[in-house]
Amino acid sequence: MKYILPLLLLSIALLSSCVTKQKYQELEEQKKYYEKEATTADSMKNEYNKLAEEKRQLEIEVRNTRMELEEYLVTNKNLYRSYQDVLDRLDQTTAERNELDETVAYEKVNLQQQLGEQQESLQGNRQRLESLEYELYQKDNRLNVMEYDYSSMKGSLQEKNIRIQELEQMLNLKEGNMQTVRADLNDIVAEFSARDLSVEERGGKLYVSLSSALLFPSGSTQLNAEGRTAVRKLSQALKNNPDIDILVEGHTDSQGSAITNWNLSVDRAVAVTNALTDSGVNPKRITAAGRGEFMPVASNQSAQGRARNRRTEIVISPKLDEIYELLSR
């Protein structure tokens, strides 16, 4: 566009010697008009360049918009070349001035129309850019929210990892205590027959089974001398490992009434519990329970099976208070 004004001035200079004053005035008005048009076009171009420069860093859609604007520049260059061709024909065919004037007027209308279309297109692109800016603003807000949520989740995950590590340390410690108890109990079990005293591990707990024949006279709830010796030796292993819970369960066979058997199992469990506490085991760690005939380990149809069912079991489990407290945080 910046080349249109010099070319028009040149054309007017060439034609001024052979036109009337009125025609010259018309040409002067046209010159002023083209100057105004050129100024407007240059202003639009500057505004376009500024808009393209400011929005260069937008996302892919913004880049596509800039490419469209660059295509408009190419179109403008093509239009300029077309207009240059018109001026060249003016220089070469001054004799065909009237025809050339009509051609220039026609081209002028086309240029005005195309410039108007470009202005509308620029306005549309400006609106698209504003829309994209607003969309980017919303996405930026969403990203900030997501980053905050991620930070919160990360902090929570770190806290959970710390709790898991603490829990693993507690479990390892309690597992070590249980292994120590098992080793102490194995030494004691070796002093008795497997029929009278045995240790078994089930579900992370130790089950110390003492036969009724080892502990009590037939039908009695009072410990005999051998039973007291066995309980006293067991108490040493239990006292040395305070980080455990102790459940004393009494069991009977199915001979007699269920109520009688239940009361007998309770009384025998209490008798063993009293013997443990008399030997120094903290009573706060012990629970006594009677199971009667309802948890047999063998068939009650044979004398041998009934003898196995008549037993007292000391169930040893790790103390879980600290673990429960950690899990409840």
Q: CB atoms < 10 A from the CB of 155, how many?
A: 10
How many degrees, rounded to 5, is the angle at CA 19 between CA 18 and CA 24? 135
239 class by beta-carbon count within 10 Å (0-12 exposed, 13-18 middle, 19+ buried): middle
User: Taking a C-beta distance cutoff of 8 angstroms, is the pair 296, 254 a contact?
Assistant: yes
SS3 65: helix
Chain-centre distance for alpha carbon 14: 78
Q: CB atoms < 10 A from the CB of 249, how many?
A: 22
Q: Give me the pLDDT at residue 140, please.
A: 79
C-alpha torsion angle, residues 36, 42, 45, 46 (rounded to 10) = -120
What DSSP element (H or E) covers 149? helix 97-189
Q: Give me the pLDDT at residue 243, please.
A: 85
Q: Give me the pLDDT at residue 329, please.
A: 62
Q: CB atoms < 10 A from the CB of 266, how many?
A: 18
User: Taking a C-beta distance cutoff of 8 angstroms, is the pair 177, 244 a contact?
Assistant: yes
Q: CB atoms < 10 A from the CB of 227, how many?
A: 24
User: Taking a C-beta distance cutoff of 8 angstroms, is the pair 81, 152 a contact?
Assistant: no
3-state secondary structure 74-133: HHHHHHHHHHHHHHHHHHHCHHHHHHHHHHHHHHHHHHHHHHHHHHHHHHHHHHHHHHHH
pLDDT values of the chain reduced to their tens digit, one per residue, 329 residues: 555 555 555 555 555 555 577 888 888 888 888 888 888 878 888 888 887 788 877 678 767 877 877 777 788 788 778 778 777 887 787 777 777 677 777 777 887 888 788 888 878 888 888 888 888 888 878 878 887 776 777 666 666 665 565 556 555 555 777 888 899 999 999 999 989 999 999 988 999 999 999 999 988 999 999 999 999 999 999 988 878 999 999 999 999 999 999 999 999 999 999 999 999 999 999 999 999 999 999 999 999 999 999 999 999 998 865 555 555 66
Chain-centre distance for alpha carbon 102: 72
Which residues, 6+ apart, have CB-to-CB distance to 252 below 8 Å?
261, 262, 264, 265, 292, 293, 309, 310
- Rg of the Cα trace of the chain? 52
d(CA 120, CA 159): 58
Instruction: Please name the CATH architecture into which domain 191-327 falls.
Output: 2-Layer Sandwich (3.30)
User: Taking a C-beta distance cutoff of 8 angstroms, is the pair 248, 272 a contact?
Assistant: yes
Q: CB atoms < 10 A from the CB of 317, how many?
A: 16
The structure tokens 């239990």 sit at: 238
Q: Give me the pLDDT at residue 326, please.
A: 52
End-to-end CA distance of the chain: 76
| Tokens read off for 125 | 């692109």
d(CA 118, CA 116): 5
Q: CB atoms < 10 A from the CB of 326, how many?
A: 14
Which residues, 6+ apart, have CB-to-CB distance to 3 below 8 Å?
80, 84
Q: Give me the pLDDT at residue 36, please.
A: 85
